[in-house]
Structure 1
């Protein structure tokens, strides 16, 4: 079946579909979580380097580049903000698609809404549409898509296109052409984060800009290949093991809406390590042992935990964020894996380095069978006194079946944004995101 008409019809319906209190609340949570991840990233490379590289092409406009603290053209804002929001690894997750929809979708939607003078309700509708369209496409091409591709860079292009289509009041036909054109600009290789380098955060930045460009062109009449998602040489065929699970993906549209079942990150590292970190934290809390008491820690996980996050010799910040060994050692020693975990002092900490060789990772058949619907881990901690502690962690704190409360999300926002904005301005900004009717504007970085 051709999935594009159904996806485009659904996206276009969000121009005037009823926005229930539940959906509006979920979309606001997504916006709060996006800014929590964005603001600390605005002061870090590669966002700061991209801003310098693109300064001469900033252009006039009403969209806000939070990296530069200035108004600019829509595409410029989408690119820089999308990049910055992925740097500190605190962005949201839709677990069924192995996908971070917020980075590209919100970056593009907000820039378009600011550029065109729309209000908060229009932005929430656009976010909802972008999440739904892109998450269903992500579902259709997984799990094999994730063997080689970074879903946030590829599928994120569709989220951006669909969200901007709502802001630009595109009808279903225009939206279909926007999504079709976005498909041919989708990209993002996994090797970008299996090795070192700064290019991974550029994936959602590029997706936000490319999706926005596709929709801007479609609004003016540019057409795309409407069989590009499911065709024999189309997106699914090129990036997954077959031409996609489109019948299942389309059947689940809105049941429930993806924006209402997001995972909110509770640790500042790769989400494939979260279940192990939750298990280690709980075992240490319940048994009362110290890091020095640990003989060994073994993590059984699903394939991505092994393929992406088994990094016993992680040295750089990028590698450490994807290292089960580094993050588990950090959890044991410091009780958390937040922004401070990846500072130069922690990266060079001899106590962490001494503990890392005691942490091992392997594939567990039960955890692999449960993926992607469950992100689980089986953790065994052997203590020097002879005790062996075990915990099967079936889900992650922050997943829809173990969600962070609004208060906990607000605490995360304040922890990440307070040092960037100052405590009082951060609280005021958060209040506007939670209850305001107007769009967020510029902020001053402290």
Structure 2
């Protein structure tokens, strides 16, 4: 049996299986976090431009965009998959170097609204999408991430699996949805090595492509069953020809949705350990930015490749700049959305502090990636004192998780200005009780 077939059988069978209260609760946490990211990113470019570009597919159709505008299913998946990845506050499955929520939940909501799914059916689809895509992403791993943006590639499987679940595809159809997804998967790392709007579009395109693959499979369109492990398949073409057996080892027994990282800073996740380490040194020793002579950040290689920009010019570039976010954190005490406003982006004190930052690859920490995301931060003061701290993980990682209260606060911080306190309270209350919701029309 091919890997795709085993995954397809799992996905088709899952709605008939019992779900533990813990897994169900973690799925709700993922949806709450996704909704916060969606509302935060909705007014930010490229989302309004994308909405304008997709005008022919709006004001009609069974799905609804974040603020209530009708849309076709694929347009809703594309736009909301983009919006929820735009503000860089969406979730992470660190072992796959992948943001599953934006493509998976965006697709699930669009299809769920089309088929009038209940809240529980929606959560089942989210769990299936996370499980299948994170396992594929974990196998593709670091070799894939060298050139490909995993959220654009792996996210296509998450979207397809969630959509297939809600469309009640049988095992054969489900399998072919996944196989077609593999050949739809795309998203290049180079697309965000400089200022561009491409990165969030990867997530939106993954959501749209996954939905399309599931709709095609429902009509009988087939894919190549060996598309993952074949001699010219995804593993060879887009990775290092990995062994696919581990993807199936504990399928249906362990659930990756219980091991998510939820972001505590509004920027690239590779910057989090440096931010947390710098803030811990400042909290412990009480120095001011003016007292700093030099900052050294030693971390894993991909963090510097993706987020090592020493002189970002735009907000998009600044979100991928360890020197910028660490300097901002030390000056402001946090890295929230306001950290990327024009006044903050070019603040002379931040820019002066950035000149004092050096970045190096720490060999031990590099070997631990992607399973561990650590950074060693060394700060030398003008007094001559040298302070050093090893940040072993990131706040928000599974071993240092955000609480439900933290997630609710994040939702309120990111969504209140757009939705208003009263509307947000009504929506968030229903999100935390999704398993009892009769439909998804409140979203």
Task: Report matched runs for 1:375-394 at 5 Å.
Answer: 375-394=373-392
Q: Match of 2:359, SS?
A: strand
Confirm or deny that 1:297 pairs with 2:295. Answer: yes
Q: Identify unmatched segments of 5+ residues in structure 1.
A: none
Aligned match of 2:372 in 365, 371, 374? 374
Partner Cα separation in structure 1 for residue 14 and residue 238 of structure 2: 28
Deviation at 1:59, TM superposition (A): 6.4
Confirm or deny that 1:163 pairs with 2:162. Answer: yes
Confirm or deny that 1:402 pairs with 2:400. Answer: yes
Partner Cα separation in structure 1 for residue 416 and residue 253 of structure 2: 36
Q: Would you say the 8 A contact 2:97–2:145 is kept in 1?
A: yes
Q: Match of 2:112, SS?
A: helix
Partner Cα separation in structure 2 for residue 320 and residue 442 of structure 1: 35
Q: Would you say the 8 A contact 2:57–2:71 is kept in 1?
A: no
Deviation at 1:255, TM superposition (A): 4.8
Partner Cα separation in structure 2 for residue 195 and residue 352 of structure 1: 21
Q: Match of 1:373, SS?
A: coil
Q: Would you say the 8 A contact 1:367–1:375 is kept in 2?
A: yes
Partner Cα separation in structure 2 for residue 392 and residue 2 of structure 1: 43
Aligned match of 2:432 in 431, 434, 445? 434
1:402-430 Cα distance to aligned partner (Å, 9 max, x none): 10010011101100011111122212211
Task: Report matched runs for 1:316-331 at 5 Å.
Answer: 316-331=314-329
Q: Structure 2 length normalisation: TM-score?
A: 0.97
Q: Match of 1:400, SS?
A: coil
Residues 252, 367 of structure 1: alpha-carbon distance in 2 compared, 3 angstrom cutoff: farther
Q: Would you say the 8 A contact 2:275–2:326 is kept in 1?
A: yes
Aligned match of 1:350 in 333, 342, 348? 348
Confirm or deny that 1:259 pairs with 2:257. Answer: yes
Give the stretch that moved more between structures: 55-64 or 144-153.
55-64
Q: Would you say the 8 A contact 1:64–1:442 is kept in 2?
A: no
Aligned to 2:105: 106
Q: Match of 1:62, SS?
A: strand
Aligned match of 1:423 in 421, 424, 427? 421
Aligned to 2:233: 234
1:295-348 Cα distance to aligned partner (Å, 9 max, x none): 111111111111111111111111100000000000000000010010111111
Deviation at 1:254, TM superposition (A): 4.0
Q: Match of 1:222, SS?
A: coil
Partner Cα separation in structure 2 for residue 93 and residue 306 of structure 1: 18
Q: Match of 1:390, SS?
A: strand
Partner Cα separation in structure 1 for residue 185 and residue 199 of structure 2: 14
Aligned to 2:78: 79
Confirm or deny that 1:224 pairs with 2:237. Answer: no
Deviation at 1:261, TM superposition (A): 0.6
1:261-293 Cα distance to aligned partner (Å, 9 max, x none): 100000111101111111111110011111111
RMSD, matched Cα: 1.2
Partner Cα separation in structure 2 for residue 302 and residue 250 of structure 1: 28
Aligned to 1:134: 133
Q: Would you say the 8 A contact 2:159–2:211 is kept in 1?
A: yes
Q: Would you say the 8 A contact 1:65–1:76 is kept in 2?
A: no
Give the stretch that moved more between structures: 11-20 or 119-128.
11-20
Q: Structure 1 length normalisation: TM-score?
A: 0.97
Partner Cα separation in structure 2 for residue 191 and residue 22 of structure 1: 38
Q: How many residues align?
A: 441
